[in-house]
Amino acid sequence: MQIRLTDIIAPSFYGVHHAVKNDRATHFLLGGGRGSTKSSFVAVEIIVGMMRDQQANAAALRKVKDTIRESVYEQLLWAIEKLGVAHLWDVSVSPMRIMYRPTGQTIIFRGADNPRKVKSGKLRRGYVKYIWYEEADEFSIEDIRTINQTFMRGGDSFRVFYTYNPPKSRKAWVNEYKNNPPEGWFVHHSTYLDVPREWLGEQFFIEAETLRQRNELAYRHEYLGEDVGTGGEVFRNLTLRRISDEEIKAFDRIKRGLDFGFASHPTHYAVMHFDRTRNRLFIFYEIHKVGMSNRALADAIKTENKSNTRVTADSAEPRTINELRNLGVNVVGAKKGPDSVEHGIKFLQDLNEIVIDPVRCPNTAREFEGYELEPDGNGGWKEGYPDRDNHSIDAVRYALESEIRGPAISFK
């Protein structure tokens, strides 16, 4: 009996299937909640893909080796059974391996406790075309880069799958990539509501509804796969979206701020529009670079700021400010005062909306979205705001100096 893919792939994944089949992307970031069938989908794609391409092998990874057998290994066996092709595959546990009998193509399994020690091993034929990171949020982006460099060789067409339930922290790399995907990445989100009811069973839906009624935030995180946050997010009024050229042309309250870098810290220049009437901020241009000379910075600012309107910069660097002035930049130092960081951040928090264009300003979007209070180890948060990964936030505070009202309209 011939099995149709539509019988084992949920409708929400049809578009992803066509993207995989037609080489529309290399990296597939597949997030979702419980029961979304994202892992089932990837297992089916790998088995079908290997049977169609005699040069294709696969690697399935978990961060912790001991979790492989109960997750990716079992999921791939499920796909083989569902496709009705068990007679064509050899499976073994020690060593853990799945092999396609007609050609010797292999699925290998690796734990990535130490990513630098992950090896591809000797393949009978072809190359590792498919790479699957299950619970991808457990890996760091550095882990993934190292492992991909190991496997992505010897071929000219790759499919890398990242399946995960979104972690609460919005600064997790999977959440950042979901909101601002790099070129060549296909992003997809799915939930149990996209899956035929009979596939999951009635009890699954009962459990989901019970949690929704008792704890909606937990339901949204666990079943809908939303990155609801940890509770320590500093800015909860963010909107990440493209800001069109037409919108920018209409902006008439442009502000510019500059935070100087040092050593390995980047210099950050920010350009924004402040809509005082609607209490909204639009950030649409950035320069974010380590090791930038003052002359290069001045040239870049003058290229953007053709009217040479005022730029408000960190006054802790008077020598740099003077040099930029000598190079033709209309720059002034921000004022000093006690509790300036707190007052500036409170001003930003009280805005109705902070709109950031994640394509024009990827570093600004990353820093604002990932800026969180530090845990105190007892379920609460430490006082004060962390002084790290906040270069864009400082630049924005400086730019808005004249808009901040209160007893301390100043910055440090």
Catalytic residue numbers read 135
3-state secondary structure the chain: CCCCHHHCCCHHHHHHHHHHHCCCCCEEEEEECCCCCHHHHHHHHHHHHHHHCCCEEEEEEECCHHHCHHHHHHHHHHHHHHCCCHHHEEEEECCEEEEECCCCEEEEEEECCCHHHCCCCCCCCCEEEEEEEECHHHCCHHHHHHHHHHHCCCCCCCEEEEEECCCCCCCCHHHHHHHCCCCCEEEEEECHHHCCHHHHCHHHHHHHHHHHHHCHHHHHHHCCCCCCCCCCECCCCEEECCCCHHHHHHCCCEEEEEECCCCCCCEEEEEEEEECCCCEEEEEEEEEECCCCHHHHHHHHHHHCCCCCCEEECCCCHHHHHHHHHCCCCEEECCCCCCHHHHHHHHHHCCCEEEECCCCCHHHHHHHHHCECCECCCCCECCCCCCCCCHHHHHHHHHCHHHCCCCCCCCC
The residue with tokens 């009890």 is 203
